[in-house]
Amino acid sequence: MKQFSFQISQRACNRNMRCLCFLLFFTFSSNVWCYEDVSITNYIKTHNGYLFLRNLMTQTLVNETLNQGGPFTLFAPSDGAFFSFGQDKLNALSVGQLKRILEYHVVNGFILTSSETKDKNLTTLLGASILISPHGGHLDINDNNTHVGPTSDIIVQNGVIQPINHVLVPPEKYLPDETIIQVFLLDNIKFKDIYFALLFGNMVNHLENGTYTVFAPTDEAFAKHANRLLDPSQPNANRIYQVIMQYHVIPGEIRSSSLKNGPIFSEVGQAINITLGNGVILNNYARVVEADIYAVNGIIHAIDDVLVPPNIQELIMG
Ligand SMILES: *[C@@H]1O[C@H](CO)[C@@H](O)[C@H](O)[C@H]1NC(C)=O
Ligand SMILES: *[C@@H]1O[C@H](CO)[C@@H](O)[C@H](O)[C@H]1NC(C)=O
Ligand SMILES: *[C@@H]1O[C@H](CO)[C@@H](O)[C@H](O)[C@H]1NC(C)=O
Ligand SMILES: *[C@@H]1O[C@H](CO)[C@@H](O)[C@H](O)[C@H]1NC(C)=O
Ligand SMILES: *[C@@H]1O[C@H](CO)[C@@H](O)[C@H](O)[C@H]1NC(C)=O
């Protein structure tokens, strides 16, 4: 007969919470876990000690992500953690950067301090990984100054909350200083032509305002079209460049990990067909050669061909 060990979560439900309990069956025993029947977002919203986190989640709309789906594990910096991070430092960050920092605190699945036994790298929603190391009942995150506690394993409807004493800061690559345009401008290896194409198409100011994903043809990609479609000396060259470059710009930040098979729409509404498999292919001819180049205001995926809108003639006549 199975041995039943009724292990009530330390976050034992008190009278004010709406709780549900469920059985976790293992081979030799089954544990009863009780959890608070709210989303991660609502837990953070309604409990003391998470004022900073609550505001940042709302500001970056990470509150929406953590309100449904899952399960997720949120490593939740306390108010003390944000206080020691520094208000000035927080104020200096853009909403996009704050969003990336928050996404660095979320992983898919349940990470319970009580069931981790060895060091593990976990991929966060940002894409960067964090290292968890169990140590005598503690769970350290990335370094031995940052740990879960004093409370832990707060189980809710769509995951688990692990309070932590420091804000986790992702590696530099994920919080660059350059905007999309600056990335192009400062690159001497593969993005010289795109900068001029954007300039020529009158898109530079536009890309400095807002958050975008740019499928960026490399210089080699532009070279394939030189003196034909992309000839700056033809009569309506500025309009041609604009129509073509607009087709490479998608509103919002879409990392390669969230690209799906099917159409994605440029900011002017034209579809680009994505095919995943052996890499990422656009419209059956352009391949992503370098994914996820982070900028302050979005993300760049370098591609090896220029995307030409199917209805380009119509667009040029506009
Ligand atoms: C998330 O925050 C926004 C405000 O930025 C608010 O409109 C929205 O209702 C919040 N969503 C949830 C699920 O709390
Ligand atoms: C975690 O990742 C780092 C950096 O890639 C690596 O050095 C380390 O060995 C990994 N640790 C584990 C436990 O996988
Ligand atoms: C914490 O980490 C630092 C640097 O990695 C190391 O020098 C130190 O010995 C560690 N402290 C403990 C208590 O493990
Ligand atoms: C930036 O974009 C917003 C929204 O699209 C627009 O209202 C605003 O005028 C733009 N600002 C500049 C300087 O172009
Ligand atoms: C995208 O795929 C659809 C359906 O297969 C097709 O009709 C359309 O022409 C494709 N568009 C481009 C730009 O390749």
pLDDT tens-digit readout, 172-201: 999 998 999 999 999 989 999 999 999 999
- Which segment of 5-14, 209-218, 253-262, 264-273 scores lowest on mean pLDDT? 5-14
pLDDT of residue 17: 55
Same fold, 38-173 and 176-317: yes
pLDDT in tens, 86-135: 999 999 998 889 999 999 999 999 999 988 999 999 999 999 999 999 98
pLDDT in tens, 51-65: 999 999 999 999 999
- Which segment of 182-186, 223-227, 295-299 scores lowest on mean pLDDT? 223-227
pLDDT of residue 291: 96
C-alpha 283 to ligand 5 mean position (Å): 7
Q: How far is CA 169 from CA 128, 146, 151, in A?
A: 10, 11, 22
Taking all residues of the chain, what is their mean pLDDT, rounded to a whole number? 89
pLDDT of residue 21: 64
Q: What whole-number distance in Å separates Cα of residue 175 and Cα of residue 121?
A: 20
Reported as a pLDDT band with limits 50, 70 and 90, residue 20 is: low
Residue 126 CB partners (closer than 8 Å, separation 6+) = 100, 103, 104, 170, 174
Q: Is 69 in the pocket of ligand 4 (CB under 6 A)?
A: no
Q: How far is CA 282 from CA 31, 257, 268, 301, 304, in A?
A: 48, 15, 17, 11, 10
The three-state secondary structure class of 152 is coil
pLDDT of residue 316: 84
Neighbours of 317 (CB within 10 A): 10
Residue ranges of the alpha helices (H) in the chain? 40-46, 51-60, 62-65, 79-85, 87-91, 95-103, 180-186, 192-200, 204-208, 219-223, 237-246, 312-317
Reported as a pLDDT band with limits 50, 70 and 90, residue 231 is: confident
pLDDT, average across residues 204-208: 96
pLDDT, average across residues 224-245: 84
Reported as a pLDDT band with limits 50, 70 and 90, residue 19 is: low
Ligand 4: residue of 207, 209, 268 to mutate (most ligand atoms within 8 A of CB) is 209
Ligand 1: residue of 62, 64, 65, 99 to mutate (most ligand atoms within 8 A of CB) is 64
pLDDT of residue 138: 87
CATH of domain 176-317: 2.30.180.10
pLDDT of residue 205: 96
Q: What whole-number distance in Å separates Cα of residue 281 and Cα of residue 271?
A: 14
pTM above 0.85, yes or no: no
C-alpha 64 to ligand 1 mean position (Å): 6
Binning the chain into helix, strand and coil, the percentages to the nearest 5 are 30, 30, 40
pLDDT, average across residues 264-274: 95
What residues does each domain of the chain span? 1-36, 38-173, 176-317
Q: Is 252 in the pocket of ligand 5 (CB under 6 A)?
A: no
C-alpha 41 to ligand 1 mean position (Å): 9
Reported as a pLDDT band with limits 50, 70 and 90, residue 32 is: low
Higher-confidence residue: 225 or 25?
A: 225
Q: Is 209 in the pocket of ligand 4 (CB under 6 A)?
A: yes
pLDDT of residue 236: 87
Asked if 168 contacts 82 with a C-beta cutoff of 8 angstroms, the reply is no
From the CA of 204, which ligand is nearest? 4
Query: What CATH class is the domain 38-173?
Result: mainly beta
Look at phi and psi of residue 243 and say left if phi exceeds 0, alpha if psi is from -120 to 50, else beta.
Answer: alpha
Asked if 203 contacts 245 with a C-beta cutoff of 8 angstroms, the reply is yes
The three-state secondary structure class of 27 is coil
C-alpha 133 to ligand 3 mean position (Å): 13
* pLDDT above 70 for 22: no
Which is nearest to 184 in space by CA: 209, 157, 204?
A: 204
- State the closest ligand 1 atom to the C-alpha of 59, by its place in the atom list counted from 1: 5
Measuring from atom 14 of ligand 1, which residue has the nearest CA? 63
Vertex 156 angle, CA 155 and 157, to 5°: 135
Q: How far is CA 143 from CA 48, 93, 127, 137, 241, in A?
A: 26, 23, 19, 16, 49
Residue 133 CB partners (closer than 8 Å, separation 6+) = 119, 139, 140, 141, 144
* pLDDT above 50 for 243: yes
